[in-house]
Chain A
C-alpha cells in the first residue's frame, strides 16, 4: 500500500465487549483499535480464547444475548454499525460486509443445493430474479476456479469436497462485491494441499476486487503469507500491530516473540540424527489392512460378495527402539486407522511383530502388549473421562499394569514428571486448560513405562505455544525413557523437526518412508513433493 485512502473501510475505535456469565463479567475485548483499508488484508492472529471470533461477530452485529458493549465504535466506511437498527443491519450483512467461516461443511445448509444457497444471496441483496441469479451464480463459481460450474450449482453440499464447498462459500461472500469480508480461519478445516489452493484463490480474488479483508487465524505462517499488516491479539487486547515485515523481523512485545518462536521450523531439528539401526526393530507391521463395516446378514447367508470400505491397504513399516517415526497425510488417509489397529481398537488383517512376538489378531494383544504400547489421542477433552478425578485417571494404568501400592505418591510423581503440580490430582479434567489436560494424557500413557507410544495428532487441538511445550515435554520424556514414538500429524513442519523417519500416507496406502532430512529432496514420490510444496513455510520466511 503506497497511498491510503482517507477513510478506512473498516475502523474499530476503542471498542470493548463484555459477556455476563454466571461467575461475573468476562471482558472479551478491551479497547480494540483496528482499521482495514481498501485493498488491504489485515491479519488478526491470536490463540484460542483470545477474542478473535468475538470480534468477528461484533463486526457482523451478531452477538449472544449476554453480550454487553461498554464503549467504542465500529465504523464501516464511516457509518457506526453500533447505532444501526436490526433491519438496517440485515441489509448490511452479505451486501456490504460478509463472512467466510472455518468449516464449510457446517456453514452450508445440507438440505439445499449449492446453487440455491448462492442464488439466495444474489436475489436478496442485488434484487436479481431467480433466473438471473442462477446465471450469475454460475459465473461466480467459474470465477472461484470450479471446473464445472453449471453442474456444481445443482449439487448438494455432501456431493462436493471440502475444498469445493469452501470455494462456494467464498463465491457467495464475494457475490455482492462487499466492501469488507471477514475470513474466520477459512482453511483450518481443510487439508494442506486444498488449503494452499484456497489461499491462492483468496489472494487472487482479493487483488482483483480490492475488498478490505480481515483475516482471522491462529496460524502465524498462514498470515505472514497473505496479509500485509498483522495485529496480534491476546486475551482481548491487541498486543501489537504493524506491517508483516516489521512484526516478524522485529517484534516489539515478548508475547509476539514467543508466538513466532513457537511456530515449528523444519530447519531447526529438535532430535539428534541418531538413526538407531538395528536388525531387530521394536515393531514390524506387515501387510496390515483394516476394513470398515460389517458384512450384511443377508449377504453372509447368500454368500454374495460385498464391498467394504478400506481404511488401510496392506501397510508395512517398522519402528526401531527409541525412534520417532512420523506419519503424515491428509484427513482420511488412514493414519489414525493404523494407530487404532496397533492399539487393538480396530480389527485388522495381517501381522504385527512386537518385540519378537507375533500378533495376528486382537486376541493376541495381551496385558503385556497393552502395557508396552500406549496411545495418546488428539482431543484431551475427549480422552479424559469428565466424571473422574485426575487421581483416578492416572491410577488406573498403575492398578492394571504395576503394583497398586502408594498410589497417591505415584500419581503425584507422575504429575511432576509432566510438569504439573501435585495438587492437580484432586481436580476434574474440566478444571484444567487444554495443554494441562494433554499433559495428564501423556502422564497416563507413560504410567506403564511403555516401549512404544502412539501420538495421534496430539498437538493439533492446541495453540502454537502450548504445542511447542508439549513437544518439548515429549522429547524430554523420550530422552529419559528411550521410548519409541509413532507420531501422527498433518503438520509437516512439526514432524520434520522431531522425527527420524517420515512415512507418507495417502488414501489408505503407504506412499513411502524417507529419512526426515531427505523428505524435501527431489527424489521423493510425486505426492510427497506436492505435500511439501503446499505446506506454508515457517513464519517470516516469506519476507
Chain B
C-alpha cells in the first residue's frame, strides 16, 4: 500500500490530483465547522459585495456569504456525485463482466440492449428517470447511477473479454466453479483497475450532471447550497456581480479537475509495468 501511494505521488498528475481531492475531502468533512457565516441568513444590505475581509468570496443576491455556502454545499454536491458514480459503476461492472463471461448469444443480447440504452443521452435519460420517480435528491442519485451504468458496462466488458481468455478463468471453468464465483472472485478483481480509473473521471461528469439536474429544478431545491443550484440561481444576477457565478463554477471545476488528475495518476500507479 505504501508502495502504491509512492507510485501515485511520483507522477505530477497523481500528486496534484491527490492534493485537490484531499482538499475537497477536507471541505466535505469539516466544511460546516469551518464556515464563518450561516449560509442561509439573508442580509439585504450586503448584497452583491465583492471579496472582503468579512466575506472572503463576496456575497450573493440575498447577501449570503458565498464562501460559507460553498463549504456547506460541498457535502451535497461531492458526496452525491461520488455515491451515484460508485452505484453506477458497480452495476455496470457487474453487467459487463457477466456479459463477457457468458459470451455468445447472451452477450449479444445484453450488449445490444445496452447499446439501445446508451443511444439516449445520459442527461435525457436521467431526466426521464427523475420524472418517473419524482424530483428529489435520492431520485436524482438513482437517475445518475442508472445513466452511468451502460457506459461502464461497455468498458468493463471490453476489459473482461481479455480476462475471460486467461487460463485462470479456464482453470476455474474446468474445475467446475459456479458462474457467480468466477464472475465475482476470478474476473471482477482483475478488471477493477481500469474501472477505478474510469470511475474517477466520471465523478466529474456526475458533479456536472447533478448541477444540471439542480439547474433544471429537478435535483436539490432552493435554498440548498448545492453548487449546481448556486450557478443556476446566479445566472440572472451575473451582470450585477460576476463572483456569484464564478466561485461555484470554480469549485465544480476544482472537483472535476482533481478527480480527473487522480484518475490519470491511478492509471499509471495501478499499472505495474510503467
Residues on B facing A (Cβ under 8 Å) = 7, 104, 166-168, 170-177, 185-186, 189-190, 272
Chain A-chain B contacts (Cβ-Cβ < 8 Å), number: 54
User: Which residue of chain A is the closest to B188 with respect to CB atoms?
Assistant: A387
Which of B174, B186, B189 contacts A344 (CB under 8 A)?
Answer: B174
Residue among B166, B175, B185 with the highest chain A CB neighbour number at 10 A: B175
CA distance A423 to B32 in the complex (A): 50
Residues of chain B with a CB closer than 8 A to A402's CB: none
Q: List 28 A-B contacts (CB under 8 A).
A: A22-B7, A340-B170, A344-B174, A345-B173, A345-B174, A367-B176, A370-B174, A370-B175, A374-B174, A375-B170, A375-B171, A378-B167, A379-B167, A382-B167, A382-B168, A383-B166, A383-B167, A383-B170, A384-B168, A385-B189, A385-B190, A387-B189, A388-B185, A396-B172, A400-B175, A400-B176, A400-B177, A430-B272
Residues of chain A with a CB closer than 8 A to B186's CB: 385, 388
CA distance A426 to B171 in the complex (A): 21
CA distance A345 to B168 in the complex (A): 12
CA distance A294 to B106 in the complex (A): 13
Q: Is A343 an interface residue (CB 8 A)?
A: yes
Residues of chain A with a CB closer than 8 A to B185's CB: 388
CA distance A494 to B173 in the complex (A): 29
Contact A386 B190 (CB under 8 A): yes
What per-residue 1/0 map shows which CB atoms of A371-383 lie under 8 Å from chain B? 0001101110011
Q: What 6 pairs across the A-B complex have the smallest Cβ distances?
A: A383-B167, A387-B189, A377-B167, A370-B176, A343-B174, A382-B167
Residues of chain A with a CB closer than 8 A to B177's CB: 396, 400
CA distance A444 to B168 in the complex (A): 11
Chain B nearest Cβ from A381, distance in angstroms: 9
Chain B nearest Cβ from A163, distance in angstroms: 26
CA distance A95 to B240 in the complex (A): 73
Which of A344, A387, A397, A400 contacts B173 (CB under 8 A)?
Answer: A344
Residues of chain B with a CB closer than 8 A to A430's CB: 272
Given contacts A375-B171, A385-B189, 20 further A-B contacts (CB under 8 A): A22-B7, A294-B104, A340-B170, A343-B174, A344-B173, A344-B174, A365-B176, A375-B170, A375-B174, A382-B167, A382-B168, A384-B168, A385-B168, A386-B190, A388-B185, A388-B186, A396-B172, A396-B177, A397-B175, A400-B177
Residues of chain A with a CB closer than 8 A to B175's CB: 370, 374, 396-397, 400
Chain B nearest Cβ from A434, distance in angstroms: 14
User: Which residue of chain B is the closest to A377 with respect to CB atoms?
Assistant: B167
Residues of chain A with a CB closer than 8 A to B167's CB: 377-379, 382-383
The size of the chain A interface, using a CB distance under 8 A, is 27
Residues of chain B with a CB closer than 8 A to A378's CB: 167
Chain B nearest Cβ from A440, distance in angstroms: 11
CA distance A89 to B97 in the complex (A): 48
Residue among B104, B173, B272 with the highest chain A CB neighbour number at 10 A: B173
Contact B168 A383 (CB under 8 A): yes
Chain B nearest Cβ from A408, distance in angstroms: 19
Residues of chain B with a CB closer than 8 A to A365's CB: 176
User: Which residue of chain B is the closest to A373 with respect to CB atoms?
Assistant: B174
Residues of chain A with a CB closer than 8 A to B174's CB: 343-345, 370, 374-375
User: Which residue of chain B is the closest to A23 with respect to CB atoms?
Assistant: B3
Residues of chain A with a CB closer than 8 A to B272's CB: 430
Contact A377 B190 (CB under 8 A): no
User: Which residue of chain A is the closest to B174 with respect to CB atoms?
Assistant: A343
Chain A nearest Cβ from B162, distance in angstroms: 11
Which chain A residues numbered 342 to 363 have a C-beta less than 8 Å away from chain B?
A: 343-345
CA distance A17 to B170 in the complex (A): 40
CA distance A385 to B7 in the complex (A): 23
CA distance A384 to B169 in the complex (A): 9
Residues of chain B with a CB closer than 8 A to A383's CB: 166-168, 170-171
CA distance A294 to B105 in the complex (A): 10
Chain A nearest Cβ from B161, distance in angstroms: 15
User: Which residue of chain B is the closest to A448 with respect to CB atoms?
Assistant: B175
Residues of chain A with a CB closer than 8 A to B189's CB: 385, 387-388
Chain A nearest Cβ from B177, distance in angstroms: 7
